[in-house]
A and B are shown apart, each in its own frame.
Chain A
């Protein structure tokens, strides 16, 4: 009995064989779902079976984004994953990374291929994406005439802004030839001239949404000169149209919200702008008025009227001073004059006459103060206080007088 191995050793050995196998590490397994259990931990445990056999499968919570639908009993699915050994139970199982509904498997591959090639071609480049106009007046819609999507768009649009014109191009959104009508619709609305185009439809299976994964639709959106909002299915459905559109809306309702501006908000904005404008202008005017007031006050104080008043005051002061001075001078002079008059009065010859002195002049009217100025017999005039005496010279008597 050589080479005895423990169970664990054997399990590990087998596990390594699985791990080394290239095929088993990345394998698509097709089968019908049974015993499907969504565990509270987020893991999904299920069995895949076909006519002859079955295989235990698990999808861990971490891989859950690889499953885009609710997996149910009896569904035919394709699971991508790796097959490995669960050592505790000595069982192998499929660790699924991605699960798709069978039948859509082919479409899915096509989708991936087209997505890749269009991406490489640059159809998804953000540089090509146009901004959605904030104030569209006309919004074109490419969708089914009788779909819930159209109703949702109309409802949202009317609620937000009934003044925006909606123009529907009724397109076939699923089935044979759907893509062609969608393309026609995009082109027609682009040509007609609208501000924004919404392209979309309500939710459905991958087959239902397929038209929006077709290359011709992608190219039509890319070439469309009008900004395009894609709105296909639900939040979780992502189509090629969503990648190439200028804006992806998660749902048709959301697309309407993005395309149609809210008139109430617009009015409120306008009102605010108006108020701000008026407020700023009033503020400015009040400011300027205050400035004017201050300046005018300054101006008043520096006005020539003030200067004139000031000068006039000075002038009056000076006049007063001048007249005072001149009066003083006049008084002094008058006083002096009085003194002179008094002095003069003292010197008056009339006063001497009153004391008995008289003025004697000869016939030549010369003062007769020496003997030689008169001859005997000459008439002399003697002036006294109240008149003149005419006298004749009788004799000239010489006398020595000591003066």
Chain B
């Protein structure tokens, strides 16, 4: 996975890809090499999912009232 791709990946697609990987891994026919590749991809995706959540509690941001949107 390229860094560029990773950055653009949404959690939704990551989840979809993970499901896809698991589906492939469940297939008995798959070669060990392929499964290793899939597994590392999967772990990578999981790591990415976890990292992409900013686990800092957020305070409500209140935008300035009566200001033009241009100032935002």
A interface residues, Cβ below 8 angstroms from B:
133-135, 137, 145, 154, 162-170, 184, 187-189, 191-192, 263, 266, 269-270, 273-274, 276-277, 280-281, 284-285, 287-288
Contacts and interface: CB of A to CB of B under 8 A. Distances in A.
Given A163-B53, A168-B62, 10 more contacts: A134-B12, A163-B56, A168-B61, A169-B63, A188-B72, A266-B53, A273-B42, A274-B46, A280-B25, A288-B32
Per CB-CB distance, the 9 closest pairs between chain A and chain B, nearest first, are: A188-B69, A280-B25, A135-B11, A165-B58, A162-B57, A281-B39, A277-B42, A167-B61, A284-B35
| Interface size range on B against A | 20 to 34
A53 to B, nearest CB: 52
Contacts of B2: none
A42 B15 CA distance: 50
B25 A166 contact: no
Contacts of A170: 62-63, 65
A276 B50 CA distance: 16
A187 B69 contact: yes
Contacts of B18: 273, 277
Interface in B49-69: 49-50, 53-58, 60-63, 65, 69
B54 A137 contact: yes
Contact of A273 (B22, B39, B63, B65): B22
A170 B39 CA distance: 47
A196 to B, nearest CB: 13
A389 B54 CA distance: 139
Contacts of B19: 273
A275 B30 CA distance: 19
A353 to B, nearest CB: 99
Contacts of B62: 145, 167-168, 170
A150 B42 CA distance: 39
Contacts of A187: 69
Nearest to B21: A277
A193 to B, nearest CB: 10
Given A184-B69, A284-B25, A163 B57 contact: yes
B1 to A, nearest CB: 16
A156 to B, nearest CB: 13
Contacts of B43: 277
Nearest to B22: A276
28 contacts: A133-B12, A134-B11, A134-B12, A162-B57, A162-B58, A163-B55, A163-B56, A165-B61, A166-B58, A167-B61, A167-B63, A168-B60, A168-B62, A188-B72, A191-B69, A191-B72, A192-B72, A270-B50, A273-B18, A273-B19, A280-B25, A281-B25, A281-B36, A281-B39, A284-B25, A284-B35, A285-B32, A287-B28
B26 interface: yes
A154 B62 CA distance: 12
Contact of A277 (B12, B39, B53): B39
Contacts of B12: 133-135
B68 to A, nearest CB: 8
A74 B22 CA distance: 66
Interface in B4-51: 10-12, 15, 18-19, 21-22, 25-26, 28, 30, 32, 35-36, 39, 42-43, 46, 49-50
